[in-house]
Amino acid sequence: QTEAPVLAVNNIEVVYDEVIQVLRGVSIEVPQGKIVTLLGPNGAGKSTTLKAISGLLKTEDGEVTRGDIHFMGQRIDTAHAEEIVRGGIFQVMEGRRIVEDMTVIENLKLGAYTRSDNEVAADIEMVFDYFPRLKERTGLAGYLSGGEQQMLAIGRALMARPRMILLDEPSMGLSPLLVKEVFAIIEKINREQGITMLLVEQNANYALKAAHYGYIMESGKIVLDGTREQLLNNEDVKEFYLGGG
């Protein structure tokens, strides 16, 4: 990629519990305002890569043992998760992780915990503009459908007013119709808010259509990368990731 990256992951290795090496020299660049996708099979190390960026690795006894990560010119692989959120990166975790015994609005307010301005109420309305069906759900978040919980998790990320969102498998557990809807909203948020996104997916069809650039990870290494068009036209990608043809 030619543009100067806003996020640069440089040759990182990650080890869990001091012995289990999961990433073996991973480099990824994400340009300002773009959607970049990270694809690959189960267990390849995609979630681990996102957690290395967001600082959440440390809560799972994981460590970046080699390489470095820079966001907007600042080194972040040594920073704490909360500093990284304040610095503008917000991760939407796999499995959504909303607080089930709080309401939609309470969950959204949680996303704004690092902010001290008075525009939280206005931003809740902004989230409801993107996800109108959330506005109708006044009960506890635990009663939301899987798709609605995914929407709430993305909405909560927006409440942090991030520069960059890390999305871990937003399509997981959703019906094809909802996957389509969620991806359309992700693209709309990127377009309208200019938020840079790194999108981890197993659903390569949707992810590549949304993304400007993609990386393919297998067994802790990047095995292929390219523009959307390059990857969509690559024979291996077609065979192994796009369901043949």
Closest separation in Å from C-beta 61 to ligand ATP = 6
Among positions 9-48, residues that touch ligand ATP (CB under 6 A) are 16-17, 20, 22, 40, 42-48
Asked if 214 touches ligand ATP (CB under 6 A), the answer is no
Is the distance from CB of 26 to CB of 215 less than 8 angstroms?
no
Of 44 and 178, nearer to ligand ATP (C-beta) is 44
Q: Where are the alpha helices (DSSP H) in the chain?
A: 46-54, 81-86, 104-111, 120-130, 132-135, 146-159, 176-193, 204-210, 228-232, 235-240
Q: Which of 235, 215, 240, 217 lies closest to 225 in space, CA to CA? A: 215
Of 45 and 162, nearer to ligand ATP (C-beta) is 45
Of 161 and 203, nearer to ligand ATP (C-beta) is 203
Of 70 and 221, nearer to ligand ATP (C-beta) is 221
Closest separation in Å from C-beta 139 to ligand ATP = 30
List own/partner pairs for 102-108 with CB under 8 A and 24 or more apart.
Answer: 102/140, 102/141, 103/138, 103/139, 103/140, 103/141, 104/134, 104/135, 104/137, 104/138, 104/141, 104/144, 104/152, 106/141, 107/141, 107/152, 107/156, 108/152, 108/155, 108/156, 108/159
Q: How many residues bind ligand ATP (CB under 6 A)?
A: 14
φ, ψ of residue 63 to 5 degrees: the values are: -145, 140
Of 12 and 22, nearer to ligand ATP (C-beta) is 22
Instruction: Please identify which residue in 3, 11, 21, 60 interacts with ligand ATP, judged by CB under 6 A.
Output: 60
Closest separation in Å from C-beta 200 to ligand ATP = 6
Among positions 68-97, residues that touch ligand ATP (CB under 6 A) are none
Residues near ligand ATP, by CB under 6 A = 16-17, 20, 22, 40, 42-48, 60, 62
